Structure 1
Amino acid sequence: MIQTTIKVSGMACSMCEAHINDAIRGAFPVEKVTSSHSKGETVILSQAPLDENALRAAIDATGYTAGEIHAETYEKKGLFHFGKKKD
């Protein structure tokens, strides 16, 4: 699974977050998408890497501005995962 974090400027409220989330869900096959206007970012979980240019286009089409995009491998941690003990 891939976690993609995008800096998004222009979001001011929860409706802005929903607008971005809906645009992402409509344009890409994602597992989960969450946006935060207070952090100014959107976090997407997907099975495969997402095209950065297409992401920017989808966000920019909503009237908000996509900034820095960072993608990394995401590993879901179980309920009882407390990290690895050091010997």
Structure 2
Amino acid sequence: MTTTEYTVTGMTCGHCEMSVREEVSEVDGVTEVAVSHETGRLTVTSEGPLDDAAVLAAVDEAGYTASRA
């Protein structure tokens, strides 16, 4: 298992967290997603190496901006 941390900007509430969680959960290989609007952190656990571009695109699709922490 691999855990990768990201910083997400623009989230302000639980609904924001849910939107990011739903989009990132659909990325191939992702097994667990934890997100907090309070800290601006996204933690993604995957079966192996994670496609950063796919995670960043998923966060963008949810309406927010992310970068690798």
- Give the TM-score normalised by the residue count of structure 1: 0.72
Shift of 1:27: 2.3
**Between the two proteins, what is the percent identity of the paired residues?**
36
Deviations 1:6-47 (A, max 9, x none): 100011011110110000112233221110001101101111
- 2:15 maps to which residue? 15
Give the alignment of 1:1-87 within 5 angstroms: 1-67=1-67, 69-70=68-69
3-state SS of the aligned residue for 1:27? coil
CA radius of gyration, larger in: 1
Instruction: Name whichever structure is richer in strand by fraction.
Output: 2
Q: Which structure has the highest helix share of the two?
A: 2
TM (normalized to structure 2)? 0.89
Tell me the distance in 2 between the aligned counterparts of 1:28 and 1:14: 24
Aligned residues of 2:29 and 2:50 also touching (Cα < 8 A) = no
